[in-house]
Amino acid sequence: MEITAFLDRKLARRFRTYDSDGDGFIEREDFTQAGERTTKAFGLADDDPKAVRFHSMLIGLWEQLSSVADQDHSGRISIDEYKKAFANGLLETPESFEEGYVPFLDAVMAIADEDGDGKLTVEEHVAWTGALMNLSEADARMIHDILSGDDELMPADALLDAIREFYFSGDPAAADNWLLGSLD
């Protein structure tokens, strides 16, 4: 996969959302802390089946990412290692993307979609994106408005489409590029 200047900016933004402690590296602890913040934001006990599943998915995501990206086997991933993993085909196709992201998004929805209707209210979206990825409330509200349209509820499939387009679209004008807020 060619890392264009535009994709480079998107990957740098995504890296910052993974780096919970802001130390310039992604580590297993970043995933653990993000999981704890997220389940706590929704009032789930550690042994709640939804919390257990979510934590397991996060650790699986970390293990997959580290197996591909942690080239020096240091137990942490630098921004350069992260970008190189994408250049080497971490997400080669939209189909391979879905294999990894659909189960994770299902685990997120099981926690964040409190009434189980398959759609997120703005409050639910703000809570999970803030807890998991440290998105600001203003960015989360803007993204929710873009993706929910007139319904004011964001369907899970709209979120999946936006995540897919974030990684695969080269169109700087596409709204999905705002998925994580400003790219700057």
Q: Which two tokens stand for residue 42?
A: 């929704």
Residue 91: what pLDDT?
Answer: 62
Which among 67, 150, 163 has a CA at the least distance from the CA of 109? 163
If pLDDT is split at 50, 70 and 90, which confidence band does 169 have? confident
C-beta pairs of 107-113 under 8 Å, 24+ apart in sequence = 107/50, 107/53, 107/54, 107/57, 108/38, 108/54, 108/132, 109/156, 110/50, 110/53, 110/54, 111/38, 111/39, 111/42, 111/44, 111/50, 111/51, 111/54, 112/42, 113/156
Mean pLDDT of 117-133: 94
Higher pLDDT, 164 or 78: 78
Q: Which two tokens stand for residue 47?
A: 């042994």
The β-bridge partners of 155 are: 119
pTM: 0.88
> Which superfamily does 5-169 belong to?
EF-hand (1.10.238.10)
Instruction: State the Cα torsion 94-98-99-103 to the nearest 10°.
Output: 170
Model pLDDT for residues 23-61, shown as the tens digit of each residue: 999 999 999 999 999 999 999 999 999 999 999 999 998
Q: What is the mean pLDDT of the chain?
A: 89
What does the chain come to in residues? 184
Residue 96 has pLDDT above 90, yes or no: no
Which among 128, 164, 140 has a CA at the least distance from the CA of 54? 128
Residue 93: what pLDDT?
Answer: 65
